């Protein structure tokens, strides 16, 4: 195989997006449009050349850990002009594959097949047949079916407009041929631009055999020009993903209301209800249930755990046999143990909640470590921030924190200690003791916790 040079055109401003963000940086699922195209090109083991213009600094900054030859197109004078800017950096013996930064669903296998055809003939293009080809350049063939030209819609005759095979703009051409054709482009067209598609007619005039590959999926070669098209392709991606997940055994209540913007692995018998959004990298154990309207981001959730409705989990882990929510929020670096409970309207931030511990309702736990079997009542707050610095709260095994209590960090609550409701705790509390501070804090060292009646 010859050397492959991928040329991605990403210089346009995307005015129809009506956005300050360059079009190629619009988000589709978990990646920018441009990154989708780059990822499709990477398996080709090719040199990567990206033509930039509008928002050049932003576009360059969005691509990390890739070896890219960045080429600036100072004036946007057409697709042919954009490719011209790259050619000084490309060897004549290379095969150039021209892609577009706003065509995000192109597949690596399709590109590989196109390159194979170009390696044989020197010139190959990708086309697709559309029921409604309006707005696209038409593939013009002769009586024997050979490609002789691509006619842009604005330059097409009425008869040519009836053609439903259209140009995707994606071509693979030997660099020596491409360089020659680009140097002979003219602006003699309705747009007054240098059209890359005009090289097809030049190749035909030179008796070059133009190979073609007709793509079987219109969505794969669909460009994104506005927010409507962006949303359309978002659903295409999500439908493809959810079908694969369900084939792999994931239970999804309504595939039309499912979003995964990243990676998701799951065990057996997991069930996902409507309007759940996965972001980043998520792992579910066996028999995990996620109720409606939850956002799960970079989370690991253990076996038999339940995430109740309207909960948010971000950069956190949840043990097995644990319930979260409803309306709970686990902020980054939260670690919830096994057989635990984080109840409704509870917020946990950068804290460890031990096995069998409960924070049942309307509480905030931040920068804290809770041991095993801790019970935190309603309205409890760990006051971890003094306006300048953050401090730790430690609650040891078996402690009971009464409702409407404020724990002023740094503070440690001892093993099996009890804090009376409505207290403000500013000092460490010993093991096996009761602390109250409704007037001032009082500690009883020999106090015994009440036990349930046997009836």
Helix (H, G, I), strand (E, B) or coil at 177: helix
Q: Which residues pair with 213 in a beta bridge?
A: 126
| 363 Cβ neighbours under 8 A, 6+ residues apart | 346, 347, 376, 377, 378, 379, 380, 381
Whole-angstrom distance, CA of residue 200 vs CA of residue 219: 24
Q: Nearest 5 degrees, angle CA 132-CA 136-CA 137?
A: 125
Q: Which residue has the tokens 């490719």?
A: 83
Question: Of all helices (H) and strands (E), which one includes residue 35?
Answer: helix 33-41
CA distance 424 to 409: 11
Using CB atoms within 10 Å of the CB of residue 439, give its burial: 0 to 12 exposed, 13 to 18 middle, 19+ buried: exposed
Residues shown for the chain: 455
Q: Answer yes or no: are the C-beta atoms of 237 and 254 closer than 8 Å.
A: no
CB 345 within 8 A of CB 359: no
DSSP 8-class letter at 41: H
Helix, coil or strand: residue 91: coil
Q: Which 3-state string (H, E, C) describes 336-364?
A: ECCCCEEEECCEEECCEECCCCEEEECCE
Task: Report which of 30, 343, 376 is spatially closest to residue 329, judged by C-alpha positions.
Answer: 343
In the numeric block, which tokens belong to residue 244?
């694969």
| Phi/psi at 442 (5° precision) | -125, 135
Catalytic residues: 361
d(CA 127, CA 241): 25
Beta bridge partners of residue 272, listed in sequence order: 252, 290
């Amino acid at each position: 195989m010859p050397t492959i040079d991928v040329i991605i055109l990403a210089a346009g401003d995307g005015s129809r997006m009506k956005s300050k963000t360059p079009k190629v940086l619009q988000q589709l699922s978990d990646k920018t449009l441009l990154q989708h195209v780059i990822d499709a090109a990477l398996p080709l083991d090719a040199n990567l050349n990206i033509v930039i213009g509008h928002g050049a600094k932003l576009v360059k900054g969005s691509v990390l850990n890739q070896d890219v030859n960045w080429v600036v197109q100072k004036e946007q004078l057409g697709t042919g002009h954009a490719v011209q800017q790259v050619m000084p950096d490309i060897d004549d013996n290379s095969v150039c594959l021209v892609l577009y930064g706003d065509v995000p669903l192109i597949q690596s296998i399709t590109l590989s097949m196109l390159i194979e055809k170009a390696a044989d003939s020197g010139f190959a293009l990708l086309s697709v047949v559309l029921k409604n080809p309006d707005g696209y350049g038409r593939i013009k063939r002769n009586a024997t079916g050979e490609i002789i030209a691509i006619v842009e819609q604005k330059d097409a005759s009425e008869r040519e407009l009836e053609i439903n095979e259209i140009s995707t703009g994606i071509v693979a051409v030997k660099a020596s041929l491409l360089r020659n054709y680009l140097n002979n482009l003219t602006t003699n067209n309705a747009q007054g631009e240098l059209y890359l598609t005009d090289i097809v007619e030049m190749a035909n005039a030179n008796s070059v055999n133009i190979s073609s590959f007709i793509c079987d999926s219109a969505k794969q070669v669909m460009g994104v020009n506005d927010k409507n098209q962006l949303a359309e392709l978002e659903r295409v991606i999500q439908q493809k993903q959810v079908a694969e997940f369900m084939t792999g055994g994931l239970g999804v209540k309504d595939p039309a209301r499912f979003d995964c913007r990243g990676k998701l692995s799951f065990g057996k018998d997991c069930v996902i209800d409507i309007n759940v959004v996965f972001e980043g990298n998520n792992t579910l154990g066996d028999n995990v249930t996620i109720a409606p309207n939850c956002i799960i981001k970079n989370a690991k959730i253990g076996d038999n755990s339940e995430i109740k409705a309207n909960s948010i989990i971000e950069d956190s882990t949840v043990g097995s046999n644990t319930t979260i929510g409803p309306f709970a929020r686990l902020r980054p670096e939260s670690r919830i143990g096994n057989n635990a409970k984080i109840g409704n309207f509870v917020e946990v931030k950068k804290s460890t909640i031990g096995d069998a511990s409960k924070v049942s309702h309307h509480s905030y736990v931040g920068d804290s470590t809770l041991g095993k079997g801790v019970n935190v009542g309603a309205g409890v707050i760990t006051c971890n921030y003094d306006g300048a610095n953050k401090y730790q709260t430690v609650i040891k095994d078996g402690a009971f924190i009464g409702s409407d209590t404020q724990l002023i960090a740094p503070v440690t609550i001892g093993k099996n200690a009890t804090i009376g409701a409505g207290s403000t705790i500013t000092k460490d509390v010993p093991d096996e003791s009761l602390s109250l501070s409704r007037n001032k804090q009082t500690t009883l060292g020999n106090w015994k916790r009440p036990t349930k009646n046997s009836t």
